[in-house]
Structure 1
Amino acid sequence: MTASGPGNRRIAAIDFWRGLVLIVIFINHIPGNIVDRLTPRNFGFSDSTEAFVFIAGLSVALAWGRFTARGDTASVVDRAWRRTSLLYMVHLLLTFTAIALYANAFVLTGNESFLLDHGRDVIFEEPATALLGIVFLGHQLGYYNILPLYILLVFLSPFILFAVWRAPLISLAVSVAIYIVAQLPQVNLPSWPLPGLWAFNPFAWQFAFVAGMVIGVLWKRDKLSLPASRPLMIVSTVLVAFGAIVATDAFGFAPGLFAAVYGLGGFDKTDMSVMRFMHFLALAYLVTQLRVGEQMLRFQWGRSLALIGRHGLAVFALGSVLSSAGQIYTALTEGTRLASGTITGLVVVPAGIMCLYWFARFLESRSSRATATATVTTQTAT
């Protein structure tokens, strides 16, 4: 999905942040590696998921807002539902690819954890029932449960965008009300065939999506940007600093602080707790006001992340498969020197990141060739 600003040009800073989020998700999905300790979730209350969903809402507003502006609702519906279909097919493909990977790992090793962990047990015990659950999004494998949320939000995005475009603040208030209700027990979509609820409660996480969309609409339609406010900067800095102190046990000087604070509750990820989202908003405000994304684009690695972000869905898909391969590697090497979190973090993870980067370069090259061919064809016809 193309994130375009008021002039309908891609916004490289958004691509940068999307690319960074995808890399962090990849790293976090290979447990135990040393690089994982350096990712944002270890220094605050939120993690890459809030950014993923917020950027999705922002991108919808920037990419499709121009159709809403001229009353072309049909184009928004067409694009949204075609995107939904693509996301759904990718989700099914990734799920079945993961099942095949873990099944082969079990055959090669006899390690039953490949069949039992993260919701895979029902697939091998009751395959017909599990298949129906997967097709209807009721059964979601661990590490493969963000796309169902994204599918639902994109499917509903034409209606949300229509409302936000006409009354952004009222729409945001309605979203907040739904979010508050979602904090009540059992206000979530049910899992099936296994008992339980969705890993990412759509009634709660829609708030991050709508918040991103509201920001995008105000930027796209009214040319408004987030105001520079000294009080907001101070509050945001304090909240981010507090999150870092708690998450790190005061950087090692207060052992048990993290456990004590989290034991009080209010940090649930399934329902996107208030503290998690406040921390994300504070962090997002700081990096926006400090123009961190724009500054990072001055460096080659920043532009490389933007390249990855331009091909978000494809890179996400490959990253999901590679992270499963990384999990299998970790299990296969357990008890050996190759199982070291240092080796996994400094060899396996960088190798995976390079694969994602070169895959994005390949997609960019193919896209550029297709654009050049189309231009030549048009000029010839003219």
Structure 2
Amino acid sequence: MTMLSDAAVLSGTASRVKRPRDPRLDVFRGIGMLIILLAHIPNDHWALWIPARFGFSDATEMFVFLSGMASAIAFGRLFDREGIILLTGRILQRIWQIYWSHLCVFLVIATLMSMAGTRPDGVSYVDSLNLVRFFTDPAPLLLGLMTLTYVPNYFDILPMYMVILALLPIMLLVERMHRVLPLLLMAGLWVLAQISLLNLPAEPWSDRPWFFNPFGWQLLFFLGFFLMRGTIQAPPARRSLKTIAALILIASIPFAWYRILEASPFFRDAAHALLPLTDKSTFGLLRLVHFLALAYLAFHAVGEGGRRLVHPRIIPVTRILMKVGQQSLAVFVTGMVVAQIIGIWLDRAGHTPAATALANLAGFSVLIATAYLVAWFKVAPWKA
């Protein structure tokens, strides 16, 4: 996995000077937001061509890893300047924002599903998101929703992110003791998640855990965090490493692409045997390997410092993607709602190529508009 050759320069420092944003972080986060929208739209044909269909990792890895890198810039520098108290306060504030975003998204989508009625195949939209119990007996589940002990599968990414953020002050404190200690803690938590010894309950009536185990996924977040911070050194740009990374990506295709799996019992059985290593809930090892190979090639493909992203011919697209990536929380929660609206509309209009293209492009437009609107609100022009 390679990142910035100047990762140490971009890591936490004592300087209060605001450095320019790295275009690679925001552009790739923006791309990730658009892919996540497609992945969330029910029965969207375009989702058959997202990277997740050709390998073990998907846009979730991109989102988590780049969030870790961005957090190193924001929170790591604050820790270096002001110490653990102010850092913890800032993180609690961020968790508070994400918590209320999570609750609002759940209530909006639950309301939307109840109003939508029944799909053409006779299944209710409430049942399609496994929300029947919530509408049947809401009182105890409202308490579970508020305490994060009731986390339906569609609504589990933000709770995972909250837990990972809560671990951040601990990781920085142990890093101050020794730079190797956070790496050992990350690995230890990940191993406990792999053997099902560490997880959180997702519903009060069963033993089902959170779909996204935060103690497994923290490994990827903090790899990005400490790479950007300079605690972990990025591997150099070598042809041999690029070749290995490319071979990893190519070798994973037969175990992930649905056309090969449908046509070949051998690869279908092999993919089933690899499930413990490709498990999304606990963030299996092969997901990590696949993502690191993909990220290594992607960051080299855009050139040192992302210079190819600022080419005059593509800079308008780059600017749009950067804006989307900079407002990732607002764009993400909007995308979760918009994805369900698009799914409902496609059920009515038909999943034709033209309708699907129109719906997806409209969804992209909404996310882009959301990013620009939120950025405008943050500037607070009425104060000028």
If the TM-score is normalised by the length of the shorter chain, which range does it land in? Answer: 0.7 to 0.9
2:5 maps to 1:5:
no
Map of 2:159 onto structure 1: 148
Question: How big is each residue's C-alpha offset from its partner over 1:119-161, in whole Å with a ceiling of 9 and x where there is no partner?
Answer: 3011011110111111111222332210010111112222223
Partner of 1:213: 225
Q: Secondary structure at the match of 1:8?
A: coil
Cα distance, 1:357 vs structure 2: 0.8
232, 242, 245: which one pairs with 1:236?
245
The answer to whether the 8 A contact 1:244-1:250 is kept is: no
- The letter of the residue matching 1:32 is N
Would you say the 8 A contact 1:68–1:165 is kept in 2?
no
Asked whether the equivalents of residues 164 and 217 of structure 1 are also in contact (C-alpha less than 8 Å), the reply is no
Read off the aligned partner of 1:260 and give its amino acid letter.
Answer: D
Number of equivalences: 363
1:70-149 mapped onto 2 (5 Å cutoff): 70-106=81-117, 112-149=123-160
Equivalent position amino acid for 1:43 in 2: F
Q: CA deviation at 1:175?
A: 1.0
What residue number does 2:269 align with? 260
Give the RMSD, CA atoms, in angstroms: 2.7
Map 1:27-66 → 2, pairs under 5 A: 27-66=38-77
Cα distance change of structure 1 residues 314 and 161 upon mapping to structure 2, 3 Å threshold: same
Question: Is structure 2 residue 338 aligned with structure 1 residue 322?
Answer: yes
Aligned-residue offset at 1:251: 6.7
SS at match of 1:32: coil
Deviations 1:22-56 (A, max 9, x none): 11111110132221122110111111111111112
How big is the shift at 1:166? 4.9
Structure 1: state its 5+ residue gaps. Answer: 375-382
The range that moved more, 97-106 or 354-363, is 354-363
In 1, the alpha carbon distance for the partners of 2:164 and 2:179 equals 17
Alpha-carbon separation, structure 1, partners of 2:297 and 2:83 = 35
1-side partners of 2:80 and 2:372: how far apart?
34
Task: Provide the TM-score with structure 2 as the length reference.
Answer: 0.86
Per-residue CA deviations over 1:151-176 (Å, capped at 9, x if unaligned) read 11112222223333553333112211
In structure 2, how many angstroms separate the alpha carbons of the residues matched to 1:206 and 1:112?
36
Provide closer, same or farther for how the CA distance between residues 341 and 267 of structure 1 changes in structure 2, counting only shifts above 3 A. Answer: farther
Give the alignment partner of residue 171 of structure 1, picking from 182, 196, 205.
Answer: 182
2-structure distance, mates of 1:240, 1:26: 23
1:345: how far off?
2.7
Q: Out of 284, 309, 315, which is 1:296 matched to?
A: 309
Which runs of 5 or more residues in structure 2 are unaligned?
Answer: 1-6, 12-17
Q: CA deviation at 1:117?
A: 2.6
- CA offset at residue 183 of structure 1? 1.0
TM-score, length-normalised on structure 1? 0.86
Counterpart Cα distance in 2 of 1:205 and 1:291: 26
Residue type at the aligned position of 1:240: L
- Structure 2 CA distance for partners of 1:251 and 1:365, relative to 1, 3 Å: same
Confirm whether residue 203 of structure 1 aligns to residue 215 of structure 2.
yes
Cα 1:169–1:289 change in 2 (3 A) is: farther
SS of residue matched to 1:286? helix
Instruction: Say whether residues 1:278 and 2:289 are aligned partners.
Output: yes
